[in-house]
Structure 1
Amino acid sequence: MRVLLSTIGTRGEVQPLVALATRLRELGQDVRLCAPPDFREWAERLGISFVPLGPELRSTAKPDSAMTKAMASPEGRRAMAEAMVVNQFETMPEAAEGCDVVVGGMALNIAAHSVAEWKGIPYFFTAYCPITLPSLHHRPPAFPGWAPKNPDAANPVLWADDAERWNEQWGGVLDARRKVLGLPPVDDVRGHVFTEEPWLAADSVLAPWRGPSALDVHQTGAWILPDHRPLSPELEAFLDAGEPPVYFGFGSIRAPEEIAKAMIGAARAHGRRVIVFRGWTGLSLIDDEPDCLAIGEVNQQALFPRVAAVVQHGGAGTTTAATRAGVPQVLVPRMFDQPYFAQRVRDLGIGTSITGEPSAESLTLALSEVLRPEVAERARQVGGEVRVDGADVAARSLMAAV
């Protein structure tokens, strides 16, 4: 069986599919990954066949990038959305050549289902967070520029409004490209992308699916990529030189202004050392004191169990990694699914979150909440409940279905 895995987005959207690809290859299946070119070297280093999709995204973490500026206006967002869909239809038909099934990750992977339909092969959609799928239990997540018509409306009304916005945003360009392939128009773009039986690649403890919903959701568990890379000698020496430090990182997203100064000041207020993950924003230290270390790409599975707390943006992948490591968390959510994970961390008693722009004062207060023995104990307890077999469940389900 040859599987095409396709996604757009940053590392949080790509890594779960890399985890699934790795497990499928271990089970003897042929896999091709279609994703932004930022991840080509990584995928090919793991032996995964790679097809670049769309432009490089690393620059989006910079406030002065052309893509960031274009996203600031409704016209710019619409032009980017249409160009994105056109690029998907130009790239994916060739990528799907010889494939037996298409798995689409990330909601904005608009073309994947249509390409599978054109090829006459099955298609599966997967979400990484429960609130991205329609349910009466929760509201739709917020997209940039997508304010609800009536924010106080009931959830069914908000989801109906959300479906209208999907049609307004992508219906025209989707139907135009489908016509080129000889396919009929789509009445419900969101339903077309999600299907009636989507998969949910999220841990059932951290992010449980809750209905009622018209969808038949298959929750597989989080797709976790096993990481056996050693920590660098510099990082090992830093960890061994004192008490567990506080980790700060915002992954692939743009970090708030002046965040490094606030982070380091908050940790020092508690007498804690600091590890700063540079990320795509390129965070840096504020001085040369030996209590701080800036790092690049790192094995979170090896690092997180050795820190006192993880302060991060609330992406699905980082939150799952920190929860699995059994370490307290402070979330600084910015958009989309991040507020949901901030709420879940609070509900589970394994950390807290900060609303709005973080400051040294708010971070200091948040750390005082999570650097308590009872929070650390609760985090260890919940961490022991996180399952790590989601990618295997999904791989075997896919093999059985195709």
Structure 2
Amino acid sequence: MKINLLTIGTRGDVQPFIVLGKELSKRGHHITICTGGAFKDLAEKNRLTFSAIRADYADLTQSEEGKNMLKGNLISIVSQMKTVIYPMMEQMLDDIWAASKDADAIIYHPKVFGGYDIAEALHIPAFIAHPVPVIAPTRLFTNPVLPFAMQNGALNRASFKMNRLLTAAFFSLINKWRHETLSLPDKRSVFKDDSILNGKHIPVLYGCSPSIIPFDQQWKGHVSMQGFWFLDEDAWTPPPELLRFLEAGPPFTVSFSSMPLRNPDHILDMLQQAFKETGQRAILLTGSSGIKQTIDSPHIFTAGSIPHDWIFPQSQAVIHHGGAGTTAAALKAGKPMVICPFSGDQPFWARKMRDIGVAAAPLKERDMSVKAFVSKINELVSNHTYSQRASEAASLIVKEDGVRHTADFIEEKLEEKNPAK
């Protein structure tokens, strides 16, 4: 079966789809992943057919406009809507349609707004996939896109309705494309539930663990959440200088990933001082955070990136931004953590890790200081409960085979749509 996977965003949005596509490909399906050009090598390395979406989200996140948007600057978001975002979305809609005309089924990230419409136009099965449980309403927890948690079940369930509001600004663009390109009559609107197609729930695929996030029994039958989707990376060869740094014992690992720091050099100075004061050592993964300096220090080793599945198991603890993939990798490695949430679902993961006892209280960028870092480092070192809880979580996670069970769920749903004759 020809299955197209549609996703856009940072590596945290793309890698789970690579993992799922790889599993489906092993089962004999022809998989095409449609995403930003920055991920062409990753897709082809994992033997998936690649189709580019010209909406260059990776470049946008590194521009000044994109950095302001990632920081939640509402004025910047509104001002860039027509000049930057709309043209990107128009390209995305054209590209996913060109790539999907002959697909037998599609699996799409909610950020790819046209996935719903393509499935409707082609009369093919569709699945919504996400590494964060943001789609199916539940009374058990608040919508993870919100930066706070509520204790009221009814309000929790209602909070998921705001997903429609997040796409409302694009309805005019989507409806124009629906009419002119897909020849679809009905219009999308804030009053139409886009998790329902032809009167039935679109099956939802969550790439996260029921050991960490409670599975709502009301989801049964239309939601799959059976474990994190981990990518089996090829063997990675560390440089000799990294191996020498590790000889002195397990360090902390610090990563802000693609989150743009307001004052990267100042944060670097604070980290260097904090690790010096505590007598601890750290590997700092600079990623796209804006940190450019390379430190020659006995306390901090800097690197652009190191595979998480290689470095986290060798770490004492992890300080990170709270992305779903980084959080999952730290959990799998059984490491205590401090989360420094910036935006999106990161505050949700920070709260959840605190709730299950594997993390100290979150540390936001505005609260960062040498004193704050020293306090958090010492807390992770001295409070052995964090390590114990992290080991317990890891023992549950490693028993799950989330991507295999998710692929089973997909094939069961496809069989229901197209029973073998």
- CA–CA separation in structure 2 for the residues paired with 1:194 and 1:366: 45
User: CA contact under 8 A between 1:260 and 1:286: conserved in structure 2?
Assistant: no
How far off is 1:76 after superposition? 1.7
Aligned counterpart for 2:393 among listed residues 382, 393, 397: 382
How far the C-alpha of 1:66 sits from its partner, in A, is 4.3
Corresponding residue for 2:81? 77
For 1:41, the equivalent position in structure 2 comes to: 41
Between the aligned partners of 1:23 and 1:381, the Cα distance in structure 2 is: 27
Aligned to 2:171: 171
Q: Which amino acid in 2 is paired with 1:34? A: C
The verdict on how the C-alpha distance between 1:325 and 1:239 changes in structure 2, with shifts beyond 3 A counting, is farther
TM-score when scaled to structure 1? Answer: 0.88
- Between 314-323 and 35-44, report the one with greater CA deviation: 35-44
Paired-residue identity, %: 22
* Aligned counterpart for 1:394 among listed residues 398, 402, 406: 406
2 CA distance for matches of 1:256 and 1:231? 33
Alignment of 1:129-148 (within 5 A): 129-142=132-145
User: Structure 1 residues 341, 14: closer, same or farther in 2, change over 3 A?
Assistant: same
Deviation of the 1:311 alpha carbon? 0.6
Helix, strand or coil: the match of 1:265? Answer: helix
Deviates more, 1:232-241 or 1:117-126: 232-241
Give 5+ residue unaligned stretches, structure 1. 148-152
Q: Give the Å deviation of 1:260.
A: 1.6
CA distance in 1: counterparts of 2:175 and 2:389, whole angstroms: 50
Cα offsets for 1:61-81 (capped at 9, x unmatched): 54x534446771413235544
What corresponds to 1:98 in structure 2?
102
3-state SS of 1:208 partner: coil
2:125 is equivalent to residue 122 of structure 1: yes
CA distance in 1, matches of 2:205, 2:190: 19
3-state SS in 1 of match to 2:236: coil
* Runs of 4+ off more than 6 Å: 211-215
Residues 329 and 37 (structure 1 numbering): CA distance in 2 closer, same or farther, change over 3 Å? same
Specify the alignment match of 1:108 in structure 2. 111
Q: Note if 1:225 corresponds to 2:224.
A: no
Partner of 2:93: 89
Look up the equivalent residue of 1:354 and give its one-letter code.
Answer: L
State how far apart, in whole Å, the 2-side matches of 1:307 and 1:189 are: 48
Amino acid at match of 1:136: R
- Kept in 1, the 8 Å contact 2:331–2:390? The answer is yes
Give the Cα separation in 2 of the matches to 1:167 and 1:278. 32
- CA spacing shift, 1:34–1:359, aligned 2, 3 Å: same
Q: Which residue of 2 aligns with 1:370?
A: 380
* Aligned counterpart, 1:312: 320
**Which region of structure 1 is more displaced relative to structure 2, 131-140 or 6-15?**
131-140
The answer to which of 232-241 and 364-373 deviates more is 232-241
CA distance in structure 2 between the partners assigned to 1:213 and 1:395 by the alignment: 17
Displacement of 1:34 in angstroms is 0.6
CA deviation after TM superposition for structure 1 residue 304, in Å: 0.4
Contact 1:60 1:254 in 2 (8 A): no
Q: Is the 8 A contact 1:130 1:208 kept in 2?
A: no
Deviations 1:21-63 (A, max 9, x none): 111122222111111111112212222111111333334454x
Alpha-carbon RMSD across the aligned residues, in angstroms, is 2.8
Give the deviation of 1:224 after TM superposition.
1.1
CA distance, structure 2, for counterparts of residue 324 and residue 194 of structure 1: 34
> Secondary structure at 1:385's aligned position in 2?
helix
One-letter code of the match for 1:185?
A: K
SS at match of 1:191: coil
Mean Cα deviation higher: 357-366 or 343-352: 357-366
Question: Which residue in 2 is equivalent to 1:150?
Answer: none
Distance 2:167 2:5 in 1: 24
What amino acid is aligned across from residue 283 of structure 2 in structure 1?
I
Per-residue CA distance 1:115-166 (angstroms, 9 max, x = gap): 122222111001221245433344344489xx9xxxxx94456444x25624
Mapped partners of 2:277, 2:294: distance in 1: 15
Q: CA deviation at 1:174?
A: 1.5
CA distance in 1, matches of 2:336, 2:196: 33
Partners of 2:164 and 2:394 in 1: CA distance: 39
Does structure 2 conserve the Cα–Cα contact (< 8 Å) formed by 1:143 and 1:335? Answer: no
| 2:364 partner SS | coil
Write the distance in 1 (CA, Å) between the matches of 2:177 and 2:84: 16
Deviation readout 1:275-321 (Å, 9 max, x if unpaired): 11120234245742233211133221121011111110000000000
Do 2:60 and 2:66's aligned partners in 1 also have CA atoms closer than 8 Å? yes
